């Protein structure tokens, strides 16, 4: 049943706002970006949190803001420094976009409108909505996967949440009921999806402020929602990663400027087999899962007797301090001593 356009759902959502805000005030997690709030820190948090788990972001957010406490400080940094502080968070284009956004903000000031925030590099509807609600007091919905899930359950709505039209309908529905507490409301919706109405496994309905309102729960059908398009299987890439050591130095290469992990540093990486650099002193298998691809890697630690071109040869200390190595290669870092 598609019930999202009915007046009944507007009323249901209007009734759902007060208990949600009440629950959020009592149950919200103490997260670093909730302690200090300005538009810049909110932008940093929301960009880091796109596609990355809260637990993985917490510490990195604090370190990033220690290094770059203001848009001016970030604007003045080099791209290598910014990427180094983003190391391990993945989706590195977010770091490059944030760097570009900081340059724009340092010159023009932080925008005051949804359109202005939306025009910053790397900022889509969701991030613009979150920054506007959280830091600018503007009633703009931020509809991500969490919000789609909790609303589709609240309304027992079987429209496909992967359709852009469904997202648009939820955004309009939220817009109508936005309370003056824009920051709390925006984060309460995310929080309910993150800690109660969870994505994997059974939701914790016993702790939910909507348990007497939620149509899916009342029908005992929580896990029938949301309805989604089945995902395509990921492509599997077999690869060989060569950790070449010459004396005190290790070989690195920069990935191509376009595509997966663009422009980041890696150990010499070969789809399929590697050229013969000599016999490995150690070997291990490792797997890394991206959204559309899985790398199934064989790592080889090999001693070589010259600094082979075209690689960049760096010491262990330089590698740790200056070069951003994506977490796809984490399994091979214990070889760097």
Catalytic residues: 46
Mapped onto helix, strand or coil, the DSSP state of residue 163 is coil
Closest CB 62 distance from ligand ADE, rounded Å? 14
Sequence-distant (≥ 6) Cβ neighbours of residue 282 within 8 angstroms? 300, 301, 335
Task: Spell out, one character per residue from 142 to 171, where the chain touches ligand ADE: x when CB under 6 A holds, - when not.
Answer: ------------------------------
Question: Kind and range of the H or E element at 315?
Answer: strand 312-315
Q: Closest CB to ligand ADE among 4 and 43?
A: 43
**Structure-block tokens of residue 32:** 């670093």
Smallest Cα–Cα separation from 157: which of 169, 174, 144? Answer: 169
Residue 197 found at the interface with ligand ADE (CB under 6 A): no
Question: Kind and range of the H or E element at 101?
Answer: helix 93-108
Span interacting with ligand ADE, options 46-54, 171-179, 247-255, 278-286, rule CB under 6 A: 46-54
Residue 192 found at the interface with ligand ADE (CB under 6 A): no
Site for ligand ADE in 100-119 (CB under 6 A): none
Binding ligand ADE by CB under 6 A: which of 173, 190, 192, 302? 190
Q: Are strands 282-289 and 293-303 parallel, antiparallel or unpaired?
A: antiparallel
Q: How far apart are CA 106 and CA 99, in angstroms?
A: 11
Task: Spell out, one character per residue from 19 to 38, where the chain touches ligand ADE: x when CB under 6 A holds, - when not.
Answer: ------------x-------
Mapped onto helix, strand or coil, the DSSP state of residue 228 is coil
Residue 196 found at the interface with ligand ADE (CB under 6 A): no
Closest CB 333 distance from ligand ADE, rounded Å? 28
Residue 130 found at the interface with ligand ADE (CB under 6 A): yes
Scored b (16 or more CB within 10 A) or e, 115-125 reads ebbbebbbbeb
Site for ligand ADE in 204-263 (CB under 6 A): none
Residue 46 found at the interface with ligand ADE (CB under 6 A): yes
Q: How far apart are CA 46 and CA 84, in angstroms?
A: 19
Closest CB 13 distance from ligand ADE, rounded Å? 20
Q: How far apart are CA 97 and CA 264, in angstroms?
A: 15
Q: Are strands 312-315 and 249-254 parallel, antiparallel or unpaired?
A: antiparallel
Residue 54 found at the interface with ligand ADE (CB under 6 A): yes
Closest CB 183 distance from ligand ADE, rounded Å? 9
Span interacting with ligand ADE, options 19-27, 42-50, 211-219, 247-255, rule CB under 6 A: 42-50
Q: How far is CA 4 from CA 61, 156, 192, 304, in A?
A: 37, 9, 20, 64
Binding interface with ligand ADE (CB under 6 A): 31, 45-46, 49, 54, 130, 187, 190, 194
């Amino acid at each position: 049943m598609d019930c999202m356009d009915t007046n009944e759902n507007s009323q249901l959502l209007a009734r759902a706002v007060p208990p949600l805000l009440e629950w959020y005030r009592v149950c919200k997690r103490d997260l670093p970006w909730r302690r200090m709030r300005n538009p810049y820190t909110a932008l940093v948090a929301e960009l880091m949190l796109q596609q990355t788990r809260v637990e993985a972001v917490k510490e990195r957010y604090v370190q990033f803001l220690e290094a770059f406490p203001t848009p001016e400080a970030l604007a003045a940094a080099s791209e290598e420094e910014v990427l180094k502080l983003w190391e391990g968070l993945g989706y590195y284009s977010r770091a490059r976009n944030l760097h570009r956004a900081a340059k724009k903000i340092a010159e023009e000031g932080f925008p005051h409108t949804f359109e202005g925030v939306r025009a910053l590099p790397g900022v889509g509807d969701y991030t613009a909505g979150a920054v506007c609600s959280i830091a600018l007091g503007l009633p703009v919905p931020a509809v991500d996967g969490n919000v789609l899930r909790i609303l589709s359950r609240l309304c027992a709505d079987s429209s496909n949440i992967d359709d852009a039209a469904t997202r648009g309908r939820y955004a309009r529905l939220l817009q109508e009921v936005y309370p003056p507490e824009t920051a709390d409301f925006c984060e309460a919706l995310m929080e309910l999806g993150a800690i109660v109405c969870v994505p994997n496994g059974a939701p914790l309905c016993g702790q939910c402020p909507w348990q007497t309102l939620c149509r899916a729960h009342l029908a005992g059908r929580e896990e029938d929602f949301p309805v989604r398009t089945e995902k395509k299987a990921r492509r599997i890439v077999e690869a060989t990663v060569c950790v070449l050591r010459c004396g005190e130095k290790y070989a690195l290469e920069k990935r191509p400027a376009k595509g997966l992990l663009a422009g980041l540093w890696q150990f010499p990486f070969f789809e399929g087999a590697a050229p013969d650099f000599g016999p490995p002193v150690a070997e291990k298998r490792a797997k890394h899962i991206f959204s559309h691809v899985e790398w199934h890697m064989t790592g080889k630690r090999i001693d070589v007797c010259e600094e082979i071109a075209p690689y960049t040869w760096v010491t262990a200390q330089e590698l740790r301090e200056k070069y951003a190595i994506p977490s796809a290669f984490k399994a091979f870092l214990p070889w760097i001593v």
